Amino acid sequence: MFKKRITPFACIVITLLACVATFVAVYSASEIKHKQEINDIRLEAAEYGAYEDFFELVGDNTDKHTKLAQMIAMIEGYYIHDYDENLVWENLYKSLVESIADDYGQYLTAEEYEALIDSADGDFVGIGVHATFDVDTEGVYIFGVIPNSPAELAGLQKGDIIVSAEGIESSEESYYKLLDSVRGEAGTEVSLTVLRGEEKIDFKIKRQAVSAENVFYEKLENNIGYIRILSFADESVSEEFTKKLALAQSEGCKKFIFDVRNNTGGYLNEICDVLDLLLPEGPIINIVDKNGTTKTQNSDANCIQAEMTVLCNGNTASAAELFTAALRDYELAEIIGTTTFGKGTMQTTRYLVDGSTLKLSSAFYNPPSNISYDKIGIKPDYEIKLSEEWENRFFKMPNEEDTQLQKAIELLNATK
């Protein structure tokens, strides 16, 4: 019966009240089991007589609950067309989250959440390239090849453009479909056609599990170390950053450019571990929950001694903004680029009883100054915009055309 599905709705409300301030969190298996047991008990209450008693668990809103029950009864009793009962409830759950106007809130079915986790996994099955859509050719521009990956072993190079994969011709409309076709079961082959200069080259590459690469290092003139961080959304980012920073120092780099342009953020632990290497003793982040309670994570006294700059833009968000703001607050780096995105909130993700998930904004996270940049962004010390030509071709842009990078080099070269 339709009315038996009241319980999942109520469990969502319970979960809303139970959220705590962390970047990414899930219920333990025991919590899931406990909620499932509650759900099973409520499913036994087939009549609406048990309905209001159950909603006493989540507050005194019986008018609203009775209204919902009446609507359900009307649909069951009078609606003349067939409908998908599961779809009705899934849309109800999604609408509940949408109605609170949380920019980052989200309800996902169990299947949607599983697909999301698979796509965000640090180890993925593919060929091992970093790629983006190329506005000039409508192909997939490879701006990085992961070391020891199937792509590198097959001979793919930075600057190659994938124009077809598995028979799918690349275009703006087919871009994501083409990317999906490159992924697949480990040990299987994918057929690609690549444009290199004016020449088209065919490849057959065996898919393998590949570890993501998020930190890139290049030594520039005058012992300037350029380190680009693509994302903090991987549990190996701080380890990668530590290695690249140590490599730069071993090669004599004493000044640094940290590039977090188009970095949309990631995990709390990773950004804190990265900043701990750069900041002196003191606060890294202030986490402020719904009740105004503040928890502070601190850096120890060990840190590098170096001149620093940070490159940012409108796609620099979340943890990448914290990175930018923290170096600014300690007056360790000058900021170059354009105003950042303005996301200064944490989200909590919770499993619900059926394996679906609910994500909500559950706390503000403020930089060391404790001044929130949420919905405001971080204004750089030097406001420099890229030309429209290179804005749309960011990953194809040579260093000499990168006016933001060139300004950072100029500032570091002016220091003793």
Query: Are 235 and 362 in the same domain?
Result: yes
In a domain, 338, yes or no: yes
The domain boundary residue, chosen from 211, 237, 254? 211
β-bridge partners, 335:
310
Indicate if 174 and 229 belong to the same structural domain. no
Among 211, 246, 268, residue at a domain's last position: 211
Decide if 364 is inside a domain. yes
What's residue 410's pLDDT? Answer: 98
**Domain presence at residue 251:** yes
221 and 195 assigned to the same domain: no
Which tokens sit at 203? Answer: 């490849």
Rounded CA-CA distance 336/384 in Å is 7
Residue carrying the six token digits 């989250």: 97
On whether both 9 and 90 belong to a single domain, the answer is yes
Judgement on whether residues 252 and 181 belong to the same structural domain of the protein? no
Place of tokens 């997939």: 140
**Among the listed residues 373, 363, 270, 362, the one whose alpha carbon sits nearest the alpha carbon of residue 329:** 373
Helix or strand or coil: residue 120?
Answer: helix
Q: Let me know whether 205 and 231 are in one domain.
A: no
Domain boundary among 162, 191, 211: 211
Q: State which residues form the domain around 197.
A: 123-211
From the list 186, 11, 212, the residue with the least C-alpha distance to 107 is: 11
- Which amino acid, residue 148? N
165 and 292 share one domain? no
223: left (phi over 0), alpha (psi -120 to 50) or beta: left
Q: Walk along the chain (416 residues) and give the pLDDT tens digit of each residue.
A: 333 333 333 333 333 333 322 223 333 333 434 344 434 433 433 333 333 333 443 345 567 778 888 888 898 889 999 999 889 999 999 999 999 999 999 999 998 888 777 665 545 678 999 999 999 999 999 999 998 899 999 999 999 999 999 999 999 999 989 988 998 889 999 999 999 999 999 999 999 988 888 999 999 999 999 999 999 988 899 999 999 999 999 999 999 999 999 999 999 999 999 999 999 999 999 999 999 999 999 999 999 999 999 999 999 999 999 999 999 999 999 999 999 999 999 999 999 988 999 999 999 999 999 999 999 999 999 999 999 999 989 989 999 999 999 999 999 999 87
- Please report how the helices 237-250 and 268-278 are oriented relative to each other, as an axis angle in degrees rounded to 10: 20
Name the residue with tokens 């100029």: 410
Determine the pLDDT at residue 200.
96
- Pick the closest to residue 57 from 75, 45, 73 (CA basis): 45
> With 0-12 CB in 10 A as exposed, 13-18 as middle and 19+ as buried, what is 30?
exposed
- pLDDT given for residue 377 in this prediction: 97
Estimate to the nearest angstrom the gap between the alpha carbon of 157 and the chain centroid.
Answer: 26
Q: Are residues 223 and 352 in the same domain?
A: yes
Q: What pLDDT score does 61 carry?
A: 55
Same-domain check for residues 169 and 273: no
Is residue 115 domain-resident? no
**163 in a structural domain:** yes
In a domain? residue 111: no
Residue 243 belongs to domain with CATH number = 3.90.226.10
Is the Cβ–Cβ distance between 24 and 349 less than 8 Å?
yes
- What is the per-residue pLDDT for 116? 77
Mark whether 180 and 128 lie in a shared domain: yes
**Per-residue DSSP letters for 67-110?**
HHHHHHHHHHHH--S---HHHHHHHHHHHHHHHTT-TT-EEE-H
In a domain, 116, yes or no: no
Give the DSSP H/E element, type plus range, for residue 205: strand 199-206
Among candidate residues 207, 208, 226, the one with its CA nearest the CA of residue 217: 226
341 and 242 within one domain: yes
| Residue whose structure tokens are 């986490």 | 287
Distance CA 260, CA 244 (A): 15
Widest distance between CA atoms in the chain: 81
Same domain, 268 and 335: yes
Q: How many separate domains does the chain show?
A: 3
By CB atoms closer than 10 A (0-12, 13-18, 19+), residue 361 is buried
Has residue 230 been placed in a domain?
A: yes
We report the CATH number of the domain holding residue 179 as: 2.30.42.10
Q: Is 86 exposed, middle or buried (0-12, 13-18, 19+ CB in 10 A)?
A: exposed
